[in-house]
Amino acid sequence: MSGEAMVVGFLLYSHGSCRDNNPFDCEENVNYPVKDSVFDTLFETARTYNQWQDRPIDDALLKRLYDLLKWGPTTANTCPGRFVFVRSQEGKEKLKPHLNAGNVDKTMAAPCCVIVAYDTQFYELMPQLFPSRDMKPIFEGKPELIQEVCMRSSSLQGGYLIMAARALGLDCGPMSGFNAQTLNAAFFPDGRWQANFLCNLGYGAENGAHPRNPRLDFEQACELL
């Protein structure tokens, strides 16, 4: 270790709020790779929005959003998530009849609603996604495995989308309140892509979120083995 690295290490690990010199026990952010404000932006003050500012989202921002979320890990790099960004009035009208009543107004008012979908034939792209090994036969013709991979990894990719959107200054309003059968028939008539969930995107209006509900404590939700 260089002298400089030792000095930096000493300064980081000897900070007063660290216990046992373990940087992950720090109460203050002395050794995390991101600034404290990032935890707010992504998690602690980030909210689910139901009302939106009248501020559009351009193509470049949506491309940036995808170019971030695509790096999140998926099963065997299958990347089954597909994303339909509905912004036009025509697209919104197509979406409307499939939404639960409580989700209609906010979706119509949002600058964008993403259909987070998955490709039930994701394995066709495995030569591109996993060039070092022939992965297609592992999945092809195995509907239960395909469905499991699709749901698990497209849900993860939907989560990456939410976090990437927040990192780009956007707010989200995820929704499972819609008729998947009729929406799939309208948007994906050949049946290859299937909707997982919807997510409104935009810039949240002031007071556009419900009061914050509590979360489970560490002791309730976690085990240390």
- Nearer of residues 18 and 201 to ligand FMN, judged by Cβ: 201
The amino acid occupying position 157 is Q
- Nearer of residues 49 and 193 to ligand FMN, judged by Cβ: 49
- Nearer of residues 23 and 174 to ligand FMN, judged by Cβ: 174
Work out how close the CB of 164 gets to ligand FMN at its nearest, in angstroms, rounded to a whole number.
15
Site for ligand FMN in 40-69 (CB under 6 A): 47-48
Site for ligand FMN in 161-220 (CB under 6 A): 174-177, 197, 209, 212-213
Q: For residue 114, give every residue at least 6 positions away whose Cβ sits within 8 Å of its Cβ, in sequence order, or none.
A: 83, 84, 85, 86, 161, 198, 199, 200, 201
Phi, psi of 29 (to 5 degrees): -80, 90
Contact criterion met (CB below 8 Å) for 144 and 120: no
Site for ligand FMN in 110-169 (CB under 6 A): none
- Nearer of residues 33 and 214 to ligand FMN, judged by Cβ: 214
Contacting residue, 103, 107, 157, 194, with ligand FMN by CB under 6 A? 103
Q: For residue 179, give every residue at least 6 positions away whose Cβ sits within 8 Å of its Cβ, in sequence order, or none.
A: 98, 99, 100
Phi, psi of 153 (to 5 degrees): -80, -30
Residue among 60, 70, 99, 36 nearest 163 (CA): 70
Binding region for ligand FMN (CB under 6 A): 47-48, 102-103, 174-177, 197, 209, 212-213
